[in-house]
């Protein structure tokens, strides 16, 4: 047994980060499953819900439950900032020795967490769940997800394991490292992988969603994938240098052929159709390259504004409400002063 194994406790303080957006019906089943499956695995269990600007009764349900369960803490956003921002807030506010982001829909099975803890005690800093099957996903989604992971691995220097989501256990020192990464356009799967540390995967069967419907439509998934590519790879920019060089070389070759033909056979009148085809082709290529450059410039624009990743309206625990200015980096998040009497 190495030194690292001897210093890791059998029952560490555990924080579950649970982002929620319009999940009022899923909260009770999730908590019942957590209480059943995680009893006794941690010396202190903190369930950190991040309410991402829900428009239903999610915050009402959470507040009622938190009054009778002191394990629950609620970070209530001032508006919807997205799941990546919610995960970031969870990492900022988590206090456990180990931290586990987990979905409230029970597609991330809580019963896998004790296995994660066993691997953590063996010395691994990150233990992530690897989906052996995706019963709740359509064939099209499985194919496109696989294509994304393969393309990302080829285009980026950061290798993301295939069929791995946000469900993972992280040691506190990994969480501290992640807190230092404050970019505004966030792709958390990439950030998790970028930090490094000793990692291992645990295969599991991913069940179908128990309650509610997914909030991730095709358009949202496309933009999510685009954020991943732009955040972790400059290949889309660099490739246009090669494309431009090839097109310029072909144009020079074609010009040389025309000059030779004119010298040998006299004045040559090019055809209208071929000329128009070349003009349209080059125009399309230019617009496409400008669009890709624009994606990077847009993200530079967002970063230079230095706006917070999220804004916390209130923090709830039990019957108390507090606005915390001292918990997180003020460059990355903002807490609003209390405006109501409680």
Q: Could you read off the pLDDT tens digit of each residue along the chain, which spans 342 residues?
A: 444 445 777 778 899 999 998 888 888 888 888 888 887 776 688 899 999 888 888 888 998 888 888 889 999 998 888 888 899 999 999 888 899 999 888 888 888 888 999 898 888 999 988 887 665 555 666 666 666 666 666 666 667 777 788 888 999 999 999 998 888 878 888 788 888 888 888 888 877 666 656 555 556 666 666 666 666 666 676 676 677 767 767 766 776 776 677 677 766 556 655 665 677 677 777 777 777 777 777 777 777 878 888 888 888 887 666 655 444 444 445 444 443 433
Gap between the Cα atoms of 138 and 131, Å rounded? 14
The reply to whether 196 and 325 lie within a common domain is: yes
The reply to whether 125 and 261 lie within a common domain is: no
The reply to whether 33 and 157 lie within a common domain is: yes
Domains of the chain: total: 2
What's the CA angle centered on 188, arms 72 and 184, to 5 degrees?
A: 100
Range of the domain at 38: 3-215+308-335
In this prediction, residue 341 carries a pLDDT of: 37
Q: For 148-247, where are the E strands, in sequence order?
A: 164-171, 199-206
Which residues, listed in sequence order, are joined to residue 320 by a DSSP beta bridge?
Answer: 317
* 160: CATH: 3.90.550.10
The reply to whether 109 and 15 lie within a common domain is: yes
Tell me if 121 sits within 8 A of 198, measured CB to CB.
no
Q: What are the distances in angstroms from CA 182 to CA 256, 271, 291? A: 52, 56, 26
Find the helix or strand (DSSP H, E) in which 247 lies: helix 235-265
Q: Tokens 């930090």 sit at which residue?
A: 195
DSSP 336: P
In this prediction, residue 106 carries a pLDDT of: 84
The reply to whether 257 and 274 lie within a common domain is: yes
| pTM exceeding 0.85 | no
In this prediction, residue 19 carries a pLDDT of: 92
Give the number of other CB atoms < 10 A from CB of residue 198. Answer: 14
Query: What is the CB-side half-sphere exposure of residue 83 using CA atoms within 13 A?
Result: 20
Q: Tokens 């001897």 sit at which residue?
A: 6
Tell me if 155 sits within 8 A of 233, measured CB to CB.
yes
In this prediction, residue 48 carries a pLDDT of: 92
The reply to whether 125 and 162 lie within a common domain is: yes
Find the helix or strand (DSSP H, E) in which 130 lies: strand 126-134
In this prediction, residue 291 carries a pLDDT of: 73
Tell me if 59 sits within 8 A of 321, measured CB to CB.
no
The reply to whether 251 and 206 lie within a common domain is: no
Residue 326 domain-assigned (yes or no): yes
The reply to whether 313 and 258 lie within a common domain is: no
The reply to whether 325 and 289 lie within a common domain is: no
Give the number of other CB atoms < 10 A from CB of residue 128. Answer: 22
């Amino acid at each position: 047994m190495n030194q690292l194994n001897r210093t890791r406790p059998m029952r560490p303080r555990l924080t579950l980060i649970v982002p929620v957006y319009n999940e009022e019906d899923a909260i009770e089943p999730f908590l019942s499953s957590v209480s059943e499956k995680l009893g006794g695995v941690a010396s202190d269990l903190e369930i950190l819900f991040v309410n991402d600007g829900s428009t239903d009764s999610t915050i009402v349900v959470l507040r009622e439950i938190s009054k009778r369960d002191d394990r629950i803490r609620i970070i209530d956003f001032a508006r919807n900032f997205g799941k990546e921002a919610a995960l970031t807030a969870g990492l900022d506010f988590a206090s456990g020795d180990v931290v586990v982001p987990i979905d409230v829909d029970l597609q991330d099975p809580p019963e896998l967490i004790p296995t994660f803890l066993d691997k953590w005690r063996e010395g691994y800093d990150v233990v992530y769940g690897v989906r052996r099957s995706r019963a709740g996903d359509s064939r099209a989604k499985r194919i496109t997800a696989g294509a994304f992971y393969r393309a990302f691995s080829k285009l980026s220097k950061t290798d993301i394991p295939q069929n791995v989501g946000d469900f993972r256990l992280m040691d506190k020192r990994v969480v501290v490292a992640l807190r230092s990464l404050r970019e505004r356009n966030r792709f958390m799967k990439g950030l998790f992988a970028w930090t490094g540390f000793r990692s291992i995967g645990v295969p599991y069967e991913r069940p179908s969603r128990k309650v509610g419907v997914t909030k991730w439509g095709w358009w949202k998934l496309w933009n999510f994938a685009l954020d991943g590519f732009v955040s972790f790879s400059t290949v889309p920019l660099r490739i246009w240098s090669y494309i431009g060089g090839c097109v310029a070389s072909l144009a020079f070759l074609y010009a040389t052929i025309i000059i030779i033909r004119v010298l040998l056979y006299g004045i040559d009148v090019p055809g209208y159709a071929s000329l128009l085809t070349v003009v349209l082709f080059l125009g399309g290529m230019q617009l496409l390259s400008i669009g890709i450059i624009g994606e990077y410039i847009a993200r530079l624009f967002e970063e230079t504004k230095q706006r917070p990743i999220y804004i916390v309206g209130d923090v709830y625990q039990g019957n108390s409400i507090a606005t915390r200015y001292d918990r997180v980096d003020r460059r990355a998040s903002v807490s609003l002063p209390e405006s109501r009497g409680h």
